[in-house]
């Protein structure tokens, strides 16, 4: 690459607006150098600056009594879980890289989020992911899914973190732009949390880990534009992952954090050296001066622009206390990694880059970063007219199906509902020896906090359909369902992270969805008293002018004081009573049933009362703490019938359910009600169970008993559990293992 | 009883082994780093699972050249008890301490699931604490777990009762014979001729805790400890 003359035209090619370019010139009092233009273009990209979202994000509740770091202050959220320990977690998207290079795109998404966790001194104990693809009848989508799943697996498995939960959905809107959101969770002693601020004039700044190559240059800019036919030309913007290096980097980093040599640390993700230097400098209100000649390179002839912007993986920026350089050097030598001093902390707040003793960039560090000089925009929004139309859809006009058993069988065979075993068996979910409840067995994974009696309940959850129909309530429902998933396993929801996947924010209708989503999330979080600890916004999820469904994904963390209280999804004992907590409504809107049988994504989405939902969560906590229930599973995709089937399958236990009804069978069986949970109760404890429900003012409906080998509901539906299992388990393997024709 | 647990760059089950041996089962653990450590005073050696050297070139192919492997080989030749789990098994094969090789699973995919194992030989130093005919449930998690060897070697292994663990389930569409990775004769674990070196793909260290309702892995470690104790009772 060669240096170019900086002009307005070149700035526009870099994705800056004329106003932004003018702003830069004014701020510097001159035309920026080529390197400086690179710095601003990448740091002011949507991906790094959050310029279209930050004003909205600030409305989310970020306060909570257990918060140890505010959202945006550190690399990941941090919550006190007692006993001197904190949990550290975050979710991030890697959608665009995965669209054009699924294996490396997904792998480096996992790598990036793991680095965010161990940068804070935390050892990762769990990984999760949320995936969206187009229809699996399209061979390209199958290919994408194979690549993404293998990428996530290979990275996490080699690194050595259990991948314990996740979700996968399919919808045509994701055909051109799959969603790959990765979450990681770690544990750190409160006293040992590493901070990311640079401090102390003269302290040396090191680059550690891998050497720097040309991969991923402008990855952040690439993430800030729509996908198009030309996107495959961006393949060099996709980084290449090396989980083995990352594992070494983690061990070395954790050793360094435990030493007294470390001042500050920041991982290198998007926008590589420039982002890590300016963010640490801005946080510490200092400057950083670096000499690019000292950066270990993979290719010798890289120019400063490339070195500063490279997104080569498995690298960190660390600031060491002057005089203790050898401690750092020895640690990294032990792990056979680079640790090169490339500069030092300065006074005056400038980020300065030199080459051959010449200054090639010299800018105020603060002017580049989010929360500093990076632009912030309030984008115009407009309510799409079809949203009103969805509300007028009358579910009463949906006819009753002729055969409910057949409907259930078809729902179980829908890839959206069917078992995801094909996916999660490619992930090591038992490494760490802390996985109490792994994938497929519960509404949330339950992972012991190493060396303690405590456990974390972890889930990722999002439902694009509901948000597309009613963004505000859809987002409320997403938060509520994630919290309920955690509660069903016995956890108390303590905090959430979110990944907001949307189209082009300059589109007023898309921006309307975004704003409403934030509003709905905020409402739910305030009502349930769950703080938002951080998250990630991914815009420009579009291809050929088609946007993905607005898809907020919630990553929820819950706490169990005693891991032995973990409650599974599945029925446990013959003869147990089966009951429904909550009240069902006519909630067919946005359901899988409507989509599958009537090809409709429409209708009013389910009603939710946040106060009652909170009471339900508290009731579940009481029931699990006092061991009054043996299983719990919330009604979700596919409705009550699928919920019951999923409770029957883990232990191959049948259930006979006979109960009075006041809605149509169609609505009872297949509506996707909010705030409804199916529990099983030992008959001896039924009295105590009833009393507890009364105390929390949650209605209980007795549905039937566990037993036999068949699921039977009133005289509507009969399905042998073995048959259900066969259908449920076969779907994905049959689709994914088919012999593909080679396309040339 | 002192177990040495060896950490190669990329080992990632070393912490789990240390946790199971030290905190759960109460043995003494010596943590040995591949470059600087020594096996001095260890009664038995564990090569843990993971991706030593990133599995680059071939699983276990680089780790066998690591400095500590000379000591491990000498230790084994002198009759010391060596257990290789998953990547440790791959390293033992690469180092020539066990016959045969481990190649990519037949499905070509990583597989993580619980498998049922039949204990084929109870009179080894690794299995004496299991009951007759006992079947145990242990997790597997690997890409390269398909055991292969030539027919002659396989026959010899069978004849000499060196196949210690054999896969037998669960029966699933992708494992109709209960063999999750396509291993020859469904071999999940085997010992060397002298009986003091065991390689196994399943992870006993992940199944040692009663509070997790999983204890089927414990027997491997308690058997080793018992064998070591018995040896010590016999005067040299």
Average pLDDT of chain B is 94
Q: How far apart are CA B134 and CA B205, in angstroms?
A: 18
Question: What is the pLDDT confidence band of residue A743, given thresholds at 50, 70 and 90?
Answer: low
> Can you say how many angstroms the Cα of residue A431 is from the centroid of all Cα atoms in its chain?
21
Choose between A279 and A239: higher pLDDT: A279
**Would you state the pLDDT for residue B133?**
76
State the pTM of this model: 0.95
CB contact under 8 A, B51 and A427: no
Q: How far apart are CA A502 and CA A467, in angstroms?
A: 11
Tokens at residue A589, please? Answer: 């809107």
**Would you state the pLDDT for residue A666?**
96
Residue of A nearest to B52 (CA): A244
Please choose, from the candidates A627, A615, A614, A633, the residue with its C-alpha nearest in 3D space to the C-alpha of residue A688.
Answer: A627
Q: Tell me the percentage of chain B whose pLDDT exceeds 90.
A: 82
Q: Average the pLDDT over A409-434 and give the result.
A: 97
Q: Average the pLDDT over A612-626 and give the result.
A: 98
Q: How many angstroms separate the CA of residue A117 from the nearest CA in chain B?
A: 17
Q: Average the pLDDT over A494-520 and give the result.
A: 96
B111: which chain A residues are within 8 Å (Cβ-Cβ)? 425-426
ipTM of the complex: 0.95
Give residue-wise pLDDT tens across range A453-504.
Answer: 999 999 999 999 999 999 999 999 999 999 999 999 999 999 999 999 999 9
What contacts B210, CB < 8 A, 6 or more positions away?
Answer: none
Tokens at residue A375, please? Answer: 């632009």
Tokens at residue A731, please? Answer: 């779907």
Q: Average the pLDDT over A306-333 and give the result.
A: 93
CB contact under 8 A, A433 and B206: yes
Q: Is the pLDDT of residue A234 over 90?
A: no
Residue A503 host element (H or E)? none
Q: How far apart are CA A549 and CA B124, in angstroms?
A: 59
What contacts A394, CB < 8 A, 6 or more positions away?
Answer: none
Residues of B labelled catalytic: 86, 203, 205
CB contact under 8 A, B10 and A564: no
Residue A14 is a catalytic residue? no
Number of A:B CB contacts under 8 A? 85
Residue with tokens 């994408």: A144
* A164-173, A434-443, B184-193: range with lowest mean pLDDT: A434-443
| Residue from B8, B9, B217 to probe the interface with A (highest A Cβ count within 10 Å) | B9
In degrees, rounded to 5, the angle at the alpha carbon of residue A690 between the alpha carbons of residues A689 and A691 is 90
Please choose, from the candidates A77, A89, A83, the residue with its C-alpha nearest in 3D space to the C-alpha of residue A123.
Answer: A89
A159: which chain B residues are within 8 Å (Cβ-Cβ)? 12
B211 contact A CB<8A: yes
CB contact under 8 A, B9 and A248: yes
B170 contact A CB<8A: no
A563: which chain B residues are within 8 Å (Cβ-Cβ)? 211
Residue of B nearest to A450 (CA): B19
Tokens at residue B18, please? Answer: 């240390």
B58: which chain A residues are within 8 Å (Cβ-Cβ)? none
**Would you state the pLDDT for residue A32?**
96
Q: Is the pLDDT of residue A301 over 60?
A: yes
Phi, psi dihedral angles at B145 (to 5 degrees) = -120, 5
Phi, psi dihedral angles at A508 (to 5 degrees) = -60, -35
Q: Is the pLDDT of residue A744 over 60?
A: no
Interface residues on A facing B, Cβ-Cβ cutoff 8 A: 150, 153-154, 157-160, 242-245, 247-248, 334-336, 424-433, 436, 450-451, 563-564, 729-730, 733, 737
**Would you state the pLDDT for residue B46?**
98
The residue count of chain B comes to: 236
CA distances from A175 to A133, A169, A542 (A): 6, 12, 10
Domain of B181 in residue numbering reads as 2-233
- Return the exposure string of A524-544: e unless at least 16 CB atoms fall within 10 Å of the residue's CB, then b: bbebbebbbbbbbbbbbbbbe
Q: How far apart are CA A210 and CA A246, in angstroms?
A: 9
Q: Average the pLDDT over A134-159 and give the result.
A: 96
What CATH number is attached to the domain comprising B30? 3.40.50.880
Q: How far apart are CA A357 and CA A224, in angstroms?
A: 34
Residue of A nearest to B53 (CA): A244
Tokens at residue B126, please? Answer: 């690794």
Name the CA radius of gyration of chain B, rounded.
Answer: 16
A578, A704 Cβ separation under 8 angstroms: yes
Out of B33, B112, B174, whose CB is closest to A428? B112
A77, A71 Cβ separation under 8 angstroms: yes
Q: Average the pLDDT over A279-299 and give the result.
A: 94
**Would you state the pLDDT for residue A228?**
73
A737: which chain B residues are within 8 Å (Cβ-Cβ)? 174
State how many domains chain B has: 1
Residue B28 host element (H or E)? strand B28-33
- How many Cβ atoms from other residues are within 10 Å of residue B174's Cβ? 15
A428: which chain B residues are within 8 Å (Cβ-Cβ)? 110, 112, 141
Average pLDDT of chain A is 93
């Amino acid at each position: 690459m060669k240096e170019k003359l900086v002009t307005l035209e070149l700035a526009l090619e870099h994705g800056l607006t004329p106003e932004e370019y003018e702003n830069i010139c004014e701020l510097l009092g001159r035309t920026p150098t080529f390197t400086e233009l690179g710095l601003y273009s990448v740091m002011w990209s949507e991906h790094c600056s959050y310029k279209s979202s930050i004003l909205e994000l600030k409305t989310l509740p970020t306060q909570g009594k257990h918060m140890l770091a505010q959202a945006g202050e550190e690399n990941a959220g941090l919550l006190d879980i007692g006993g001197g320990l904190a949990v550290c977690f975050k979710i991030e998207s890697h959608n665009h890289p995965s669209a054009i290079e699924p294996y490396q795109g997904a792998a480096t998404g996992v790598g990036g989020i793991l680095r965010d966790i161990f940068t804070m001194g935390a050892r990762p104990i769990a990984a999760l992911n949320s995936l969206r693809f187009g229809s699996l009848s399209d061979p390209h989508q199958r290919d994408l899914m194979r690549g993404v799943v293998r990428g996530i697996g290979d990275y996490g498995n080699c690194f050595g973190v259990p991948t314990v939960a996740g979700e996968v959905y399919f919808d045509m809107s994701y055909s051109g732009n799959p969603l790959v959101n990765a979450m990681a969770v770690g544990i750190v002693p409160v006293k040992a949390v590493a901070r990311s601020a640079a401090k102390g004039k003269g302290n040396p700044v090191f680059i550690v880990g891998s050497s720097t190559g040309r991969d991923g240059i402008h990855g952040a800019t690439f993430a800030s534009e729509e996908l198009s036919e030309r996107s495959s030309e961006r393949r060099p913007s996709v980084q290449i992952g090396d989980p083995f290096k990352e594992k070494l980097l983690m061990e070395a980093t954790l050793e360094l954090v435990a030493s007294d040599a470390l001042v500050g640390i920041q991982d290198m993700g998007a926008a590589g050296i420039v982002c890590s230097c300016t963010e640490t400098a801005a946080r510490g209100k200092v400057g950083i001066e670096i000499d690019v000649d000292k950066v270990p390179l993979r290719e010798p002839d890289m120019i400063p622009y490339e070195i500063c912007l490279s997104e080569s993986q498995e690298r960190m920026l660390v600031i060491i206390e002057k005089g203790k350089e050898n401690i750092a050097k020895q640690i990294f030598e032990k792990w056979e990694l680079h640790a090169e001093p490339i500069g030092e902390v300065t006074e005056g707040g400038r980020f300065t880059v030199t080459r051959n003793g010449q200054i090639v960039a010299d800018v105020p560090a603060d002017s580049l970063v989010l929360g500093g000089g990076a632009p912030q925009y309030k984008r115009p929004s407009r309510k799409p007219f079809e949203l009103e139309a969805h509300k007028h859809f009358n579910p009463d006009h949906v006819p009753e199906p002729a055969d409910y058993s057949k409907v259930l069988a078809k729902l179980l065979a829908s890839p959206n509902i069917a078992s995801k075993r094909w996916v999660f068996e490619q992930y090591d979910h038992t490494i760490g020896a802390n996985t109490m409840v792994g994938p497929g067995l519960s509404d949330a994974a339950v992972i012991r906090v190493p060396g303690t009696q405590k456990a974390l309940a972890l889930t990722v959850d999002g439902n694009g359909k509901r948000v597309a129909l009613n963004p505000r309530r859809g987002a409320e429902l997403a938060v509520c369902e994630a919290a309920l998933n955690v509660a069903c396993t016995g956890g108390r929801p303590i905090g959430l992270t979110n990944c907001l996947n949307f189209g082009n924010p300059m589109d007023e209708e898309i921006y309307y969805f975004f704003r409403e989503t934030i509003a709905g999330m905020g409402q739910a979080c305030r009502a349930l008293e769950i703080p938002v600890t951080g998250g990630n916004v991914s815009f420009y999820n579009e291809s050929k002018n088609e946007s993905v469904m607005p898809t907020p994904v919630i990553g929820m963390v819950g706490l169990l004081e005693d891991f032995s209280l973990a409650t599974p999804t599945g029925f446990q004992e013959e003869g147990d009573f089966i009951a429904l907590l909550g009240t069902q409504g006519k909630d067919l809107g946005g359901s899988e049933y409507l989509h599958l049988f009537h090809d409709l994504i429409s209708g009013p989405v389910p009603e939710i009362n946040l106060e009652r939902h909170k009471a339900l969560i508290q009731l579940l906590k009481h029931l699990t703490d006092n061991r009054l229930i043996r299983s719990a599973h919330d009604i979700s995709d596919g409705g009550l019938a699928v919920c019951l089937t999923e409770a029957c399958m883990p232990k191959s236990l049948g259930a006979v359910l006979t109960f009075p009804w006041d809605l149509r069978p169609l609505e009872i069986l297949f509506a996707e009600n909010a705030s409804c949970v199916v529990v099983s109760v030992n008959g001896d404890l039924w009295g105590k169970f009833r009393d507890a429900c009364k105390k929390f003012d949650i209605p209980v409906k007795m549905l039937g008993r566990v037993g036999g080998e068949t699921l039977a509901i009133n005289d509507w539906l009969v399905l042998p559990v073995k048959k259900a299992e066969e259908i449920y388990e076969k779907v994905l393997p049959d689709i994914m293992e088919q012999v593909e024709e080679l396309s040339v | 009883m002192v177990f040495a647990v060896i950490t190669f760059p990329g080992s990632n089950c070393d912490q789990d082994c240390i946790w199971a041996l030290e905190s759960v089962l109460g043995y003494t653990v010596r943590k040995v780093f591949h470059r600087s450590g020594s096996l001095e005073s260890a009664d038995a050696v564990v090569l843990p699972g993971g991706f030593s050297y990133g599995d680059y070139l071939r699983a276990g192919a680089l780790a066998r050249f690591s400095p500590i492997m000379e000591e491990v080989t000498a230790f084994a030749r002198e009759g010391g008890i060596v257990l290789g789990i998953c990547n440790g098994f791959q390293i033992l094969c690469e180092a020539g301490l066990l016959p045969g090789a481990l190649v990519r699973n037949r499905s070509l995919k990583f597989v993580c699931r619980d498998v049922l194992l039949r204990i084929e030989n109870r009179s080894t130093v690794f299995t004496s604490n299991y009951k007759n005919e006992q079947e145990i449930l242990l997790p597997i998690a690997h890409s390269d777990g398909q055991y292969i060897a030539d027919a002659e070697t396989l026959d010899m292994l069978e004849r000499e009762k060196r196949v210690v663990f054999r896969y037998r389930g669960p029966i699933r569409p992708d494992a109709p014979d209960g063999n999750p990775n396509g291993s020859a004769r469904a071999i999940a674990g085997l010992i060397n001729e002298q009986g003091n070196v065991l390689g196994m793909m399943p992870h006993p260290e992940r199944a040692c805790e009663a509070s997790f309702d999983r204890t089927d892995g414990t027997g491997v470690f308690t058997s080793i400890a018992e064998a070591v104790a018995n040896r010590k009772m016999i005067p040299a």
